[in-house]
């Protein structure tokens, strides 16, 4: 116990200055608990309000897909340029150094492969393991309109409830089956359902027409999926248009790690997302950086 002898009476109460409380910077998140906000603040840059997530979780249903054959060789050199890594617990424990200061979004659903019906997923990670791994958020696949729609939505709501107990946000990932129409109407439906049922932010696909209505109708942040590998100018243009139309960043994988110059690509994507760099300037930046490492 501190010795009270010799202490002086406090005088700097600043009674003329009202106490202020800073509003949280992220859309729809101001009423969340402190721990939730702190974790989301690790994922999203407080200055730009956006994030560059590096998605490397494809192996949980695709196996060792192109670019992810060796995470230690191909992916770890990209880690310094990402805000967040999205991955499975197996890769996190076996390969990612515990010294990393990057936020972690953990894939917590699974159970099927590309050889079966992908929507037949269940929860594959216990909340206690997410706590042990100190993750910043948990990712749950949701198949609105899919064969197992109800089951995957229920997976998400259960994870929201469990995560809320421990202050860990849940990110819903809106999956699109091969027979579904990818348009703004569908993504307004899928993202709004996820938000209404408690998802703290949502990963979905960009569509060129009316994407701004998807972000406007969703009360929580949206990040866009990169999808299949595209030519570099197209991927940069997609990222630029998405953030200009209300997205809070990207969760990009194949367009980065399958590129011929992945370090150059992720830096160009960062400039688009955090600095609003125009796509043509970002492509020039990409070419300059790629030339330096050639």
Active centre residues (catalytic): 203
Is residue 246 within 8 Å of residue 222, measured between CB atoms?
Answer: yes
16 by Cβ neighbours in 10 Å (0-12 / 13-18 / 19+) ranks as exposed
Alpha carbons 172 and 143: distance in angstroms, whole number: 10
H, E, C per residue of 67-111: CCCCHHHHCHHHHHHCCEEEECHHHHHHCCCCCCCCEEEEECEEC
Task: Report residue 121 as tokens.
Answer: 């997923």
With residue 39 as reference, give the H or E element that holds it.
helix 34-43
CA–CA separation, 108 and 85 (whole Å)? 14
Q: What are phi and psi of 121, to 5 degrees?
A: -100, 160
The pair of three-digit structure tokens given for residue 184, joined into one six-digit string:
């703004």
Distance, in Å, from the CA atom of 21 to the CA atom of 94, rounded to the nearest integer, reads: 41
Across the chain, the runs of DSSP E, i.e. the strands, are 51-55, 84-87, 103-107, 109-110, 122-123, 137-142, 170-174, 201-204, 222-225, 249-252
């Amino acid at each position: 116990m501190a010795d009270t002898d010799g202490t002086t009476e406090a005088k700097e109460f600043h009674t003329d200055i009202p106490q202020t409380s800073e509003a949280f910077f992220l859309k729809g998140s101001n009423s969340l608990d402190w721990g939730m906000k702190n974790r989301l603040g690790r994922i999203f840059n407080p200055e730009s309000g956006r994030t560059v997530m590096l998605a490397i979780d494809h192996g949980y249903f695709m196996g060792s897909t192109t670019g992810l054959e060796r995470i230690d060789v191909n992916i770890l050199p990209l880690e310094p340029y990402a805000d967040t890594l999205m991955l499975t617990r197996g890769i996190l424990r076996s390969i990612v150094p515990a010294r990393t200061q990057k936020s972690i979004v953990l894939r917590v659903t699974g159970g099927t492969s590309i050889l079966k019906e992908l929507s037949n997923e269940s929860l594959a990670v216990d909340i206690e393991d997410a706590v042990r791994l100190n993750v910043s958020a948990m990712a749950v696949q949701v198949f609105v309109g899919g064969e197992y729609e109800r089951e995957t939505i229920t997976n998400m709501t259960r994870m929201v409830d469990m995560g809320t107990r421990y202050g860990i946000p849940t990110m819903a990932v809106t999956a699109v089956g091969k027979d579904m129409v990818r348009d703004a109407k569908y993504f307004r439906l899928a993202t709004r359902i996820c938000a209404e049922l408690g998802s703290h932010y949502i990963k979905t696909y960009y569509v060129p027409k009316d994407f701004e209505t998807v972000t406007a109708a969703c009360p929580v942040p949206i990040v866009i999926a990169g999808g299949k590998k595209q030519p570099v100018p197209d991927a940069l243009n997609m990222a630029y248009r998405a953030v200009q139309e209300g997205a809070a960043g990207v969760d990009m994988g194949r367009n980065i790690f399958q590129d011929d110059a992945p370090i150059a690509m992720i830096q160009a994507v960062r400039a688009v997302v955090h600095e609003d760099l125009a796509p043509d300037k970002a492509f020039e930046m990409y070419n300059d950086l790629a030339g330096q490492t050639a």
